[in-house]
Amino acid sequence: MPYSVGEFVLNGPLSVTMSERHAYRASIFHCTQGAATSGDHDGHAYHADGLLVVEGGRVLALGEAGPLLKRFAGTPVTHFPDALLVPGFVDTHIHLPQSDVIASHGEQLLEWLSTYTFPAERRFADPHHAAEQVDFFLDQLLRNGTTAAMVFGSVHPQSVDRLFVAAELLGMCLVAGKVLMDRHAPAELLDTPQRAYDESRALIEQWHGRGRLRYAVTPRFAPTSSPQQLDLAGRLLREYGSVYLQTHLSESREELAWVGELFPERRSYLDVYDAHGLVGARSVFAHGIHLENAECNRLAEVGAAVAFCPSSNLFLGSGLLDLQCLESLGVTVGVGTDVGAGTSFSQLRTLADAYKVLQLQGQSLDPVHAFYLATLGGAKALHLEDQIGNLAPGKFADFCVLDLRATPLIARRLAQARSISETLFALMILGDEQVVAATYIAGICRYRNPAAGPD
């Protein structure tokens, strides 16, 4: 029996083979290279009646529909009226094994981990459970318009293996890794430094750089890895120059104090990772809420990125990320849902939380900048901006189609919108998976919202 992911993703009615030329007509928005800072309105392109031409899974052309329809006469066109086509979202921080712990009541980070998260992750020892969860997880990404993600697996290498198998079938861009954890967690979830090294190495050899898949060495966070394990993680990074590092950093005050007790010889939380060779251009640190200026400067200096996870930060009561400060110091920032501490797979809902987190600090997140963070910013955080993040010719045709009439309220509010900026803002404040009409990966429709009706 062929492997299938979700009910519609592999055989969607709009599927075309990758080599065919096909065009998509809709309003089209994307961020271009310039949109690196808050309030930069020049770094985007908007076509009220646009055409995206795709060939071989990549963008061939993008522009106004009128001239492009003439230039590409004879090319089949799928028309999405009342829709906004945008680049697929890039989720820079999410956990595969935590779909079942979303909306678990009452705890902050460390208690939440031991009460809810570790028990859920233990179940991944069962390959059938892991396989079912992988399918659910990828289906959730697609129905939320997310076409690329950086993913924490469980401590079990099979879970990551299964994730890569499924993502490869979808042609999806995924960076993932097995969690390294050799202390301060239930015995069934612990590996050892050597085992973690060997298992990570085998996964790297098998998956890193295969098609659109990449590997991230994944120590959970400093408290659950011994110095020996962190050392071996650093060794993997040295041995395989192009693999990534993903971990958590400075999320809650209680965690920060614990790290101080466990590593009294280190100047800061980031310095713990730095001392083990884990801070580099391909490092992505989730949260980074309570960083000192010296830590931000160090992140900027090496070109490391922070995954801003506002939904999770509000849900666990962890704190408010000072985005303006991080960006002004030159740190690359992407957006992470951080499911299951984050309460939604939707990047739109996550951007709504980002807006509110920043409002509480007197910062007003510009909607173009918000979409930048969730697309091109995420791509830059993963050093994949030459392949994804916007719809520039030559990039992968990873995009989603947002239904501007998805709900009566959205239709009503958008009828008042006078600019693309207003439209984007209403979508990010009011939207969620209901807004996503279709998701395409490398030019192939992998999700179609049954509620969106026929095209």
Report angle CA 371, 35, 216 to the nearest 5 degrees. 70
Structure tokens at 285: 């640190």
221 interacts with ligand GUN by CB under 6 A: yes
Residues in 82-101 at the binding interface with ligand GUN, rule: CB under 6 A: 95
Burial 92-108 (b: 16+ CB within 10 A, else e): bbbbbbbbbbbebeebb
448 interacts with ligand GUN by CB under 6 A: no
341 interacts with ligand GUN by CB under 6 A: yes
* Kind of pairing between the strands at 399-403 and 77-87: antiparallel
Q: Assess contact for 85 and 151: CB atoms under 8 A.
A: no
Residues in 180-209 at the binding interface with ligand GUN, rule: CB under 6 A: none
Q: Give the shortest CB-113-to-Zn ion separation in angstroms.
A: 10
Q: Pick from ligand GUN, Zn ion, none: which does 220 bind, CB < 5 to 8 A by kind?
A: ligand GUN
Q: Give the shortest CB-95-to-ligand GUN separation in angstroms.
A: 5
Closest to Zn ion by CB, 162 vs 220, is 220
Residues in 332-371 at the binding interface with Zn ion, rule: CB under 5 A: 338
121 interacts with Zn ion by CB under 5 A: no
290 interacts with ligand GUN by CB under 6 A: no
248 interacts with ligand GUN by CB under 6 A: yes
Q: Give the shortest CB-158-to-ligand GUN separation in angstroms.
A: 19
- C-alpha torsion sign, points 286, 287, 290, 293: positive
Q: Give the shortest CB-342-to-Zn ion separation in angstroms.
A: 8
Structure tokens at 414: 């958008």
Structure tokens at 93: 């921080």
Closest to Zn ion by CB, 55 vs 338, is 338
Residues in 87-116 at the binding interface with Zn ion, rule: CB under 5 A: none
Closest to ligand GUN by CB, 136 vs 258, is 258
Q: Assess contact for 424 and 29: CB atoms under 8 A.
A: yes
176 interacts with ligand GUN by CB under 6 A: no
Give the range of 19-27, 140-148, 278-286, 375-383 binding Zn ion by CB under 5 A: 278-286
Binding pattern to ligand GUN, positions 110-139, x when CB under 6 A? ---x---x----------------------
Residues in 279-298 at the binding interface with Zn ion, rule: CB under 5 A: 286
The SS3 call for residue 396 is strand
Give the range of 109-117, 229-237, 391-399, 417-425 binding ligand GUN by CB under 6 A: 109-117
Helices and strands of the chain, counted as H and E runs: 17, 16
Q: Where are the alpha helices (DSSP H) in 7-126?
A: 65-71, 109-112, 118-122
312 interacts with ligand GUN by CB under 6 A: yes
CA distance to 82, 83, 306, 371, 419, per residue, from 455 (Å): 11, 11, 38, 25, 25
Structure tokens at 69: 């329809």
Q: Pick from ligand GUN, Zn ion, none: which does 29 bind, CB < 5 to 8 A by kind?
A: none
User: Which residue in the shown chain puts its C-beta closest to Zn ion?
Assistant: 338
For the chain, how big is the Rg over CA atoms in Å? 21
338 interacts with ligand GUN by CB under 6 A: yes
438 interacts with ligand GUN by CB under 6 A: no
Report the residue from 212, 220, 290, 413 that binds ligand GUN according to the rule CB under 6 A. 220
Q: Pick from ligand GUN, Zn ion, none: which does 117 bind, CB < 5 to 8 A by kind?
A: ligand GUN
289 interacts with ligand GUN by CB under 6 A: no
* Alpha-carbon torsion angle 278, 259, 231, 286, nearest 10: -30
DSSP letter (8 states) at residue 261: H
268 interacts with ligand GUN by CB under 6 A: no
Instruction: Give the binding-site size for Zn ion (rule: CB under 5 A).
Output: 2
Long-range contacts of 351-356 (CB under 8 A, 24+ apart): 351/428, 352/428, 352/429, 353/310, 353/311, 353/314, 354/308, 354/310, 354/323, 355/428, 355/429, 356/310, 356/314
Residues that bind ligand GUN (CB under 6 A): 95, 109, 113, 117, 220-221, 248, 251, 312, 338, 341
Residues that bind Zn ion (CB under 5 A): 286, 338
